[in-house]
Amino acid sequence: MTDTPRAHRPPGSLVALAAGFITIWLIAAALPFVWTAWGSLKVEGDFFSMVSWKDAFFGPRTTALTGSAFTFQAYRDVWIGQEFWRQALNTAVITVGVTAISLTFGTLGGYALARSTARYAFWILIAALVFRAMPGLTLVSGYLLPFFEWNLWGHQWTTIIVLVALNQPFTLWLLHSFFLSIPRDLDEAALIDGCSRLQAFRLVIMPVMWPGVITAGIFSFLVGYSDFVICAMLLREENQTMVPKIIGFLGTTQQPGQVMYSVAATVSVIVPLLVLVLFSQRRIVGGLVSGAVKG
């Protein structure tokens, strides 16, 4: 960038205009989360004040009730009182399962699609794209009755495999485009040296594929972690994950203080994502770009 010709540089007025626009956008993008995090440290009477919108800033009732302008009461109530840690554990099980199986299936399939020159490889990719268009709820209405009949409903592993399947189209496209960027010469050399396909894949290709695998892993993680529809429909009350549970809290807002369970739980769900994006921003960006464009 140091050797950019002068004429390439945007004029100051344009930069100012862009900076203004981006500032407004960033406020719109981040403010709801910042505000919810702020509000989670107040009592309901302040965050949802009947009296004045200013209460959410100064917290008069929070101070009156707890002696401080900030309180972790909502977090204590939801994590300990409502045993939200159970949902957190369930989410961990689902997320780990989905990520591990997605990556195993996806790397094998993506590799085959990238290396086959046959016509059917193209059609499998197109079919995956069509499958990707199917809304989750459309498929759930197909699962529910057979799952009830065959006693598959309400188990974590059923939910995991369903989420893996629904996520396969994207994972296949993404990993297929990553494998395409690894030169065929590498496999060829391994095959000539007497490796089988599986050995070439495992010993030669996978070691250079880690960046792609990690990227695909992040997206699989997000699928398991964020899912609402599938988990809400296929899991029981006792093995429910965090996101559907938050909506569950809202169903009973009549009791005072209940809505603060949701607020604290929502912030608890968002914070790990903030950390994840902080450490893997580059990979998320790279994955979105290869999944959408190269593929």
Partner 1 sequence: MLIHPARPTHMPHRTFALFILPSMLAMILFIALPLVSVIIQSFHIEHPQVLVQQETCDPFGCKTETRVDAAAMEQLDAAAPQGQYNGIGTYLNSAHLAVSELGTIWAAAPDLSTGLTQTLNLPFYRALLFTLIYTLVVSPVSLALGLLIALAVNVLPRGVRGGVIYLTLLPMIVPSVIGALTLFWMIDQRGIIGAFLQWVTGDDTLSLKASGALAWATLFVHGVWSNAPFVFIVFFAALQTVPRDTTEAAMVDGASRLERLRLVTMPHLAPIATFLMLILVMDNFRVFESIIGLSATAHASSLSSLIFFALRGDTPLFGSAAATSMLTVICIFVLLLPSLRNAWAGFRTKA
- State which of positions 261-290 bind partner 1 (CB under 8 A): 262-263, 266, 269-270, 273-274, 276-278, 281, 284-285, 288-289
Nearer to partner 1, 67 or 276 (CB): 276
Structure token digits, residue 172 = 């296949």
- State which of positions 185-214 bind partner 1 (CB under 8 A): 187-188, 191-192, 197, 201
Residue 21 interacting with partner 1 (CB under 8 A): yes
Contacting range for partner 1; rule: CB under 8 A; set: 78-86, 91-99, 208-216, 260-268? 260-268
Burial class (CB in 10 A: 0-12, 13-18, 19+), 175: buried
Euclidean distance between CA atoms 174 and 286, whole angstroms: 10
* Of positions 3, 6, 67, 133, contacts partner 1 by CB under 8 A: 133
Distance in Å, CB of 53 to partner 1, minimum = 4
Residue 168 interacting with partner 1 (CB under 8 A): yes
Select from 90, 71, 97 the least CA-distant residue to 248: 90
Select from 91, 87, 119 the least CA-distant residue to 225: 91
* Of positions 58, 85, 148, 210, contacts partner 1 by CB under 8 A: 148
* Of positions 58, 70, 72, 122, contacts partner 1 by CB under 8 A: 122
DSSP secondary structure letters along 43-74: -HHHHT-SS-TTHHHH-HHHHHHHSSS---HH
- State which of positions 217-246 bind partner 1 (CB under 8 A): 222, 225-229, 233, 243, 246
Residue 15 interacting with partner 1 (CB under 8 A): yes
Euclidean distance between CA atoms 215 and 205, whole angstroms: 16
Q: Do the beta carbons of residue 153 and residue 234 sit within 8 Å?
A: yes
Distance in Å, CB of 62 to partner 1, minimum = 15
Residue 134 interacting with partner 1 (CB under 8 A): yes
- List phi, psi (to 5°) of 235: -105, 155
SS3 label, residue 154: strand
Rounded to a whole number of angstroms, the distance between the first and last alpha carbons of the chain is 29
- State which of positions 24-53 bind partner 1 (CB under 8 A): 25-26, 28-30, 32-33, 35-36, 39, 47-50, 52-53
- State which of positions 60-99 bind partner 1 (CB under 8 A): none
* Of positions 41, 78, 98, 162, contacts partner 1 by CB under 8 A: 162
* Of positions 115, 209, 235, 264, contacts partner 1 by CB under 8 A: 115
Select from 255, 233, 253 the least CA-distant residue to 243: 233
